[in-house]
């Protein structure tokens, strides 16, 4: 069992649509793990091209993980970088 204060890592960033139409809802998912021994709260911050678009607080007991899903809306046509913490992925918004 881990010891020490709550400490968090994020892994497994993904989006359910890599090529949405403008205005589509896109689900962004990430796995949050508390590697410490105590319960703590981590704020998941989703950024699009460096601008915060949504956040969600996640409270986890020590040594546990949870997959967090957040919804963003695809913007105008173009390529965007979606990031949570140090993780990044690309989204190409286009009209089909």
CA distances from 76 to 11, 16, 23, 25, 52 (A): 28, 18, 8, 13, 17
Banded pLDDT at 1 (limits 50, 70, 90) = low
Q: Could you count the other beta carbons within 10 Å of the beta carbon of residue 42? A: 21
CA distances from 73 to 24, 67, 93 (A): 6, 20, 10
Residue 54 Cα to chain centre, angstroms = 9
Mean pLDDT of the 1-28 span = 92
Note the pLDDT of residue 3. 77
Banded pLDDT at 13 (limits 50, 70, 90) = very high
Mean pLDDT of the 12-35 span = 95
pTM for this structure?
0.92
Mean pLDDT of the residues in the chain: 95
Tokens for 12?
Answer: 């497994």
Note the pLDDT of residue 62. 95
Per cent of the chain over pLDDT 90 is 91
Tell me whether residue 57 is exposed, middle or buried, using C-beta atoms within 10 angstroms of its C-beta: 0 to 12, 13 to 18, 19 or more.
exposed
Banded pLDDT at 24 (limits 50, 70, 90) = very high
């Amino acid at each position: 069992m881990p010891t020490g204060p709550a400490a968090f890592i994020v892994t497994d960033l993904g989006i359910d649509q890599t090529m949405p139409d403008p205005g589509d809802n896109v689900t962004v998912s990430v796995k949050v793990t508390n590697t410490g021994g105590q319960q703590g709260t981590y704020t998941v911050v989703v950024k699009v091209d460096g601008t915060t678009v949504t956040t969600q607080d996640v409270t986890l007991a020590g040594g546990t993980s949870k997959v967090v899903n957040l919804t963003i809306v695809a913007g105008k046509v173009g390529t965007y970088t979606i990031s949570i913490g140090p993780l990044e992925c690309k989204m190409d918004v286009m009209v089909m």
